[in-house]
Structure 1
Amino acid sequence: MEYTRLGKTGIEVSEVCFGTWRFGKESSGVVETTREEAHDLLDAAEEHGINFIDTANTYGGGDSERWIGEWLDERDREDYVIASKVYWSNESRFSANLSPKNVRAEIEGTLDRLGTDYVDLYYIHRFDDGTDVERTLATLNDLVREGKVRALGASSMAAWKLTKALWKADARDLQPFDVTQPMFHAARDETIDEYLDLCADQDLAVCPYSPLAGGLLTGKYERAPDGEVIAPDDSRGSLFEEFGEYYASSRAWDVLAEIEAVASDLDATPAQVALRWLIEQREFQCIPIVGARTPDQLAENAGAAAISLSDAQYERIADARQA
């Protein structure tokens, strides 16, 4: 595994981040990742040199943070970079929002569940239109000053809202967001481009979720003659009714075909190539968040750090995305 500085934070992280949003998550009545499976996956991440772990206060109703905390209890906390999020949680006794009162309540809950004194990276999960962003930023700034948070991030939101938050932080001399977490993958349409241009201009690190388009870019799904997605049993495509509409555009199938061709050239898997294309982004730092369901899947994803794309291979995938 290769390591890099996370944007302007000074924090050293692996080129691949392990996402734990499936921990304790139920889909169609099925728990996607149990406590035992979660610990096995964390062991696998450790084995493959992944030190960057992403969670949130709301994942699994708090179980994701709890299970990570149990796992960390047997290790040196300083060896791991833990990212969590605030907002969208029922764990606080206050209304879910980004008011100073709720942010304070949520960070204490997160620290308690993780069994730690600080989180390395703290995202706002979404923009809260009902709270003055300056009040939220001032509270987050205090958390950094108090040592409960090392760096700040912003997950998905409109580019203009991120711009507003960055401007407010600069104008008031508050801790800015240094990392973003949008949904981005090689098959994502051009609606994400304005957001990514902003990240490039402001030198923000990008840690995208769904980097494999819900698994479509692994090549495990097939396209039926009628355009429907043929999904393996127990895959996300079989559990998520809107999978095809959400991920399987004509563009996505074209991108997948190019990724599979490059993978054949490199003797790699489509998942590794799709992840490597993100890691090698030209305009901004990109560290994809992978959400493997098995240790074997995680090992495959970690293998993206061991391959490289030629300029021509990179451009073939980029061109397919723009077609």
Structure 2
Amino acid sequence: MKYTKLGSTGTTVSRLCFGTWRFGKETSGVVETDEDQAHELLDAAWDQGINFIDTANVYGTPNGTSEEYVGDWLSDHDREDLVIASKVYFPFGDGGPNREGLGRKHIRNQIDGTLDRLGTEYLDIYYIHRWDENTPIVETLRTLDRLVEEGKVNHLGASTMAGWQLTKALWKSDVEELERFEVTQPLFHAAYRDDVIDYLDVCADQDLAVCPYSPLAGGFLTGKYERGDDGPQSVVAPDDSRASFDDRFDDFYVSARGWHVLDEIRAIADELDATPAQVALRWLIQQDQFTTIPIVGARTVDQLNENTGAVDIKLSQDQHNRISEARYDEEGKRWGHRT
């Protein structure tokens, strides 16, 4: 495993982060990863040198299950060897007027619950999971700043939002002399970049670390899916793959653009004697405008071991460009979702 500094912070993390959003999660009645499987995956990640673990208060069924799984595993390890991230925003539990969003009351309640479930006194990174249009950003930032002062949080992070919202939050932190967001977590992969370019431009300008979620497009860019006969969104899925039980998969990840990018990724994988998953992850790692640490969410140890192989290959500049350019047709027009 190779390591890097987390943006402009002094924290050192592995070039891949292990994501735990599947831990205890029920999808269409199927538990994606139970506790024994979760601990086996965490052991494998640790054995591969991954020291960066990502979770959230709402991951799992019921909410908090993922944090509990991670906390049970963490109790057998030296806390100082791990970099742990969690999040706040979405409704927790049965809901209620103060059980969601980024107001002071909800953040205060959730940080204590998160720390208790993880069995730790502090988080290395605390993300706002989304932007809260109903709470002034200064209230959120002052609350988070106080958590840093109290030693409950080391660094602040921001997940998916508009580029102008991230800019506004960074500006407010600057003028109010509050802790700023140092880490971001957008949806970002080889077939989905132009859609978040404004956000990524802010990250580059402000030297923010980028930790993309769904870096393999929900598994689509692993190459295990094949085209169907009914248009760009038609896909042939292996049994037990995500597409076989997630009704949103076709609409969310499968597109004409995706197939073109995947074709190029497959070709380069053949050239490097690597797998499509490794090439897709390496394309992210080799972004040169900001430090990128993809969040991998493998369902099996074999998948995780395959993913970690991304740190051992290298794309030439030409190969990197070919993947980027596969998003566009010969006239320079970006491929769409259905055409």
TM-score normalized with structure 2 length: 0.93
Quote the residue 2:236 is aligned against. Answer: 230
SS in 2 for 1:171: helix
Work out which of the residue numbers 276, 286, 291 in structure 2 matches 1:280: 286
Quote the residue 1:70 is aligned against. Answer: 72
Deviations 1:274-321 (A, max 9, x none): 000000001111110000000000000011111111111111111112
* Corresponding letter in the other structure for 1:59: Y
SS in 2 for 1:303: helix
1:113 and 2:117 aligned: yes
Cα distance in 2 between the residues matched to 1:161 and 1:322: 28
Cα distance in 1 between the residues matched to 2:120 and 2:91: 19
Work out which of the residue numbers 218, 223, 237 in structure 2 matches 1:219: 223
SS in 1 for 2:327: helix
Cα distance in 2 between the residues matched to 1:63 and 1:301: 25
Quote the residue 2:335 is aligned against. Answer: none
Cα distance in 2 between the residues matched to 1:12 and 1:206: 14
Task: Note closer, same or farther for the CA distance 1:30–1:245 as it changes in structure 2 (3 Å cut).
Answer: same
- Is the contact made by 2:44 and 2:301 (CA closer than 8 Å) also made in structure 1? yes
Cα distance in 1 between the residues matched to 2:195 and 2:46: 35
SS in 2 for 1:232: coil
Quote the residue 1:80 is aligned against. Answer: 82
Shift of 1:322: 3.7
Cα distance in 1 between the residues matched to 2:324 and 2:132: 33
Cα distance in 1 between the residues matched to 2:6 and 2:171: 21
Matches within 5 A, 1:1-323: 1-60=1-60, 61-91=63-93, 94-188=98-192, 190-227=194-231, 228-323=234-329
Shift of 1:199: 1.0
Shift of 1:164: 0.9
* Corresponding letter in the other structure for 1:43: D
* Corresponding letter in the other structure for 2:258: A
- Is the contact made by 1:111 and 1:119 (CA closer than 8 Å) also made in structure 2? yes
Q: May I ask how many residue pairs the two structures share in their alignment? A: 323
Give 5+ residue unaligned stretches, structure 2. 330-339
Shift of 1:223: 0.5
Cα distance in 2 between the residues matched to 1:231 and 1:193: 30
Cα distance in 2 between the residues matched to 1:132 and 1:63: 30
SS in 2 for 1:108: helix
Cα distance in 1 between the residues matched to 2:311 and 2:224: 21
SS in 2 for 1:82: strand
Cα distance in 2 between the residues matched to 1:139 and 1:226: 51
Cα distance in 2 between the residues matched to 1:83 and 1:172: 25
Give 5+ residue unaligned stretches, structure 1. none
Shift of 1:189: 5.0
Cα distance in 2 between the residues matched to 1:218 and 1:258: 12
* Percent of aligned pairs with the same amino acid: 63
* Corresponding letter in the other structure for 2:87: K
TM-score normalized with structure 1 length: 0.98
* Corresponding letter in the other structure for 2:38: A
- Is the contact made by 2:7 and 2:290 (CA closer than 8 Å) also made in structure 1? no
- Is the contact made by 1:189 and 1:321 (CA closer than 8 Å) also made in structure 2? no
* Corresponding letter in the other structure for 1:269: T
* Corresponding letter in the other structure for 2:78: D
Cα distance in 2 between the residues matched to 1:242 and 1:65: 25
Cα distance in 2 between the residues matched to 1:89 and 1:220: 34
Cα distance in 2 between the residues matched to 1:118 and 1:90: 20
- Is the contact made by 1:57 and 1:89 (CA closer than 8 Å) also made in structure 2? no
SS in 2 for 1:45: helix
Cα distance in 1 between the residues matched to 2:158 and 2:328: 26
The range that moved more, 237-246 or 72-81, is: 237-246
Shift of 1:161: 1.0
* Corresponding letter in the other structure for 2:67: E
Cα distance in 1 between the residues matched to 2:198 and 2:246: 28
Cα distance in 2 between the residues matched to 1:2 and 1:242: 34
- Is the contact made by 2:24 and 2:32 (CA closer than 8 Å) also made in structure 1? yes
